Structure 1
Amino acid sequence: MMRLATALAATFLVLASPAAAHRGNSGLTVVEIDPATGVVAVTHRFYAHDVEPALTVLAPNEQPSLDDPEALAALQAHLGERFRIDVDGVTVALHLTGETLAGDNVRIDFAGERAAGPVSEVRVDQDFFSDVHDDMEMQVNVRVGDVTRTVLFRPGTQAQVMRFDR
């Protein structure tokens, strides 16, 4: 009887784990700064099932689907407005460079430039979907050369600074 109870409990945990694996809303931003050229590349990655509910707020008169070009444009504008990066005290102006929509995966790319040279400090601020998901969590990885720093953003998180002095 004990073995049956243990087997049932193990089966329940195995079946429940996929459902529990993605209870919150999350995304990943990767920033790559090339000190030699000054190029700044920013990639935002999300699950479509986290983004599409936000489209009802971002584009209320459009279909809440990434298949709707107006809704996609509203998403791109939201990301462009709500992500800010300063490198050594200078704001980097970013522009949209493309998107990849594949199944449940959403990738939106931006790029900008700064003066070439060493990077000492990067300040990042973002607040995606704050009026939709109160549990949104964004991991932001900033890579300068071969060094990567990671910060997490949740609703209400202030701008965060990463240092790259060696």
Structure 2
Amino acid sequence: MRRLLLSLIAILVLVSGGQALAHRFAASFTVVQLREDKGAIQVTHRLFTHDVEDLIRTHSAVGGGELTDDNISSFLKDYVGSSFALYDGNGERIDLKWVGYEYTVEDIHVYQEVPLPDGLKQIGVIDRILTETFPDQVNRVNIEKSDKVQTLIFRKGDGLKIADIDSK
């Protein structure tokens, strides 16, 4: 009997510990594609669905109200637009346009786009997504141009970071 009880306790600890570790690292992943073939900068943000749910619960006027595609879309558009920004080599903000979002149980993908500025040699990035909600948030931004990739890492309190994208 004692052996059975210890086995059950061990199983409960493993199961509950596994759920606690299921995701609880705070991260987002963004890809900034400089698409010369399309004349566009295409941005894709990948966020964990339950992190966005926490964000909406704590920062949205929707609060405990019913979440609909319209109010989630509006919230994400405003939130990502104020938390993520690109700048050209002269320090001028590049005005990203909202394309939309898709979601699954695990992930939310947010899409933005803008025409590729002529002669862009450097790009500045600010990424504060979820840093006010999760103090240990780490945001990874991959900047892709042709076959080159540069990675910038952002944490709470980080400001503008510059990537040299001139393909020589």
Task: Compute the TM-score of the two structures, normalised by the length of structure 2.
Answer: 0.78
Corresponding residue SS for 1:158? coil
2:133 aligned counterpart, secondary structure? coil
Structure 1 pair 99–138 and aligned structure 2 pair: CA distance change class (3 A):
same
CA contact (8 A) 2:132 2:156 kept: no
Q: Percent identity?
A: 23
Is 1:97 aligned to residue 64 of structure 2? no
**SS at structure 2 position matched to 1:80:** helix
User: What pairs up with 1:16-165 in 2 under 5 angstroms?
Assistant: 19-20=20-21, 22-63=23-64, 67=68, 69-89=70-90, 90-117=92-119, 119-165=120-166
What is the alpha-carbon distance in structure 2 between the residues aligned to residue 68 and residue 36 of structure 1? 32
Instruction: Judge conservation of contact 1:58–1:75 (CA < 8 Å) in 2.
Output: no
Shift of 1:79: 0.1
SS at match of 2:55: helix
Whether the 8 Å CA contact 1:92–1:113 is kept in 2: the answer is: no
Instruction: Assess, with a 3 A threshold, how the Cα gap between structure 1 residues 27 and 66 changes in structure 2: closer, same or farther.
Output: farther
Number of residue equivalences? 155
Instruction: Name the Cα RMSD after superposition.
Output: 2.7
Distance 1:130 1:60, change over 3 A: farther
Listed as ranges, the gaps of 5+ residues in structure 1 are 1-11
Q: Does structure 2 retain, via aligned residues, the 8 Å contact 1:121–1:161?
A: yes
2:66, 2:52 → 1: CA distance?
Answer: 9
Partner Cα separation in structure 1 for residue 48 and residue 150 of structure 2: 23
Q: CA-to-partner distance for each residue in 1:77-100, whole Å, 9 max, x for gaps? A: 100122110132242211111111
After superposition, what is the alpha-carbon deviation per residue over 1:117-137, rounded to whole angstroms, capped at 9, x for unaligned? 4x4211101211233211111
Alpha-carbon contact 1:62-1:70 (below 8 Å) kept: no
